Amino acid sequence: MWSCLYASLLMGCAQVTPNVVEERECDSKAVARALLQPSQFSGAQGFRCVVVARDVPVLKPERTAPPDASLNINRPVIEVSKCLHDKLQSRFNLPREFYKISSYPNGSQTLALVNPFTQVEGLQIDVVKAGMSQSLVNIYSNGTTLSQAWKKFPELCR
């Protein structure tokens, strides 16, 4: 490897890969085992692990459309999410089947209104970490009409 590094500094070097017969899908546990035992990851066993995307956790809500309303709040994500949930409950008295809360590994959360019969999500409120004690609240209408009251809803948790 070091000889390849020195040669690449002088004139470039192609990486030489071991003799691989096939590629197999491996989940994150298999990749972790392979990292602990490199001979199983490729070469000696005749196959190479290819990580599948479905095993990768979503770190934050990913949206393709821009938010219909957005607000920065100087409070941590968990406090803002709890406040929004409490306000939703106290103002609208919605049964649990009419909304859904999704949590992500990085602490972000999504509060969504749900049609209990079709399970289709309407209004979505993302609370994303924007700093140490700061949150960014994004509201998405998902094709529904968004009133001024809903656009100002996150201001109740400033």
Specify the pLDDT at position 65: 86
3-state helix, strand, coil in the chain (%, to 5): 35, 30, 40
What are the residues whose beta carbons fall under 8 Å from the beta carbon of 55, sequence distance 6 or more?
27, 28
1, part of any domain: no
- Classify residue 117: in a domain, yes or no: yes
Averaged over successive runs of 10 residues, the pLDDT of the chain (158 residues) comes to: 40 41 53 47 49 49 88 94 92 89 89 92 93 92 90 94
Beta bridge partners of 134: 131
Residue 68 is predicted with a pLDDT of 93
- Residue 49: its pLDDT value, please? 53
| Predicted pLDDT at 113 | 93
- Strands 134-140, 121-131: parallel, antiparallel or unpaired by DSSP? antiparallel
Which CATH number fits the domain that encloses residue 77?
A: 3.30.310
Same domain, 87 and 126: yes
